[in-house]
Amino acid sequence: MNAVFWILSEQHQAPSHAAEQDVSAHLHYACVLTADLYRQNKKILFATENQDQAQLVDEWLWQFEAERFVPHNLPGEGPHYGTPVEINWQPSQQRRGCFVNLCAKVPDYHSQLKGLSEWHDFVPADEAGKALARERYKQLKQLGFQITTNPIPDTIV
């Protein structure tokens, strides 16, 4: 299985209106990546720390412009078979090919993920966020993931 760690620099900022909703650059870029993966016809499980963060992601995705719309749902919402993007803080019953992680630690339910081929994670610019990302990197490496790191392109908005 492949994992990509996306590296944020100090220059990567969430849009100015994000501060009003307490949206970090880390969360914003995870949503942007999710929109890009959706446009590649991938089914995504967007993992959050808790229900409050899941609802924040849900609200933030609704802020995207119409051409960047991402059909998404929280657990128990939407059609029976779900939407292409499920935002969840717990194990999902849906098969997903991509996993976008906003959790500080590798979720305990990682071994229950069915059909997963891609894991996307983030290295925030702050030192505390970097330390947590290093721990996730080590754990995924021990689990047998093939890991690459990429800087977030400056062209991503």
pLDDT of the residue at 15: 54
Taking residues 104-112, report their average pLDDT: 89
Taking residues 125-142, report their average pLDDT: 95
E-state strands within the chain = 2-7, 44-47, 72-73, 85-88, 98-101, 118-123, 146-151
Taking residues 64-69, report their average pLDDT: 83
CA–CA separation, 33 vs 5, rounded Å? Answer: 12
Burial of 11 (0-12, 13-18, 19+ CB in 10 A): exposed
The answer, yes or no, to whether residue 131 has pLDDT greater than 90, is yes
Pick the CATH number of 2-151 from 2.40.50.140, 3.65.10.10, 3.40.50.10110, 3.30.70.580: 3.40.50.10110
The answer, yes or no, to whether residue 41 has pLDDT greater than 80, is yes
Amino acid at site 9: S
- Across the chain, what does the average pLDDT equal? 86
Q: How confident is the model at residue 65 (pLDDT cuts 50, 70, 90)?
A: confident
Record the pTM.
Answer: 0.90
Q: Are 86 and 92 in contact (CB under 8 A)?
A: yes
Structure tokens at 89: 């803080």
Candidate from 28-42, 68-82, 101-115, 126-140 with smallest mean pLDDT: 68-82
pLDDT of the residue at 103: 96
Structure tokens at 55: 């609802």
CA–CA separation, 107 vs 114, rounded Å? Answer: 14
Structure tokens at 17: 């209106």
pLDDT of the residue at 140: 95
pLDDT of the residue at 9: 81
The answer, yes or no, to whether residue 86 has pLDDT greater than 90, is yes
Structure tokens at 47: 């993992």
Taking residues 36-45, report their average pLDDT: 94
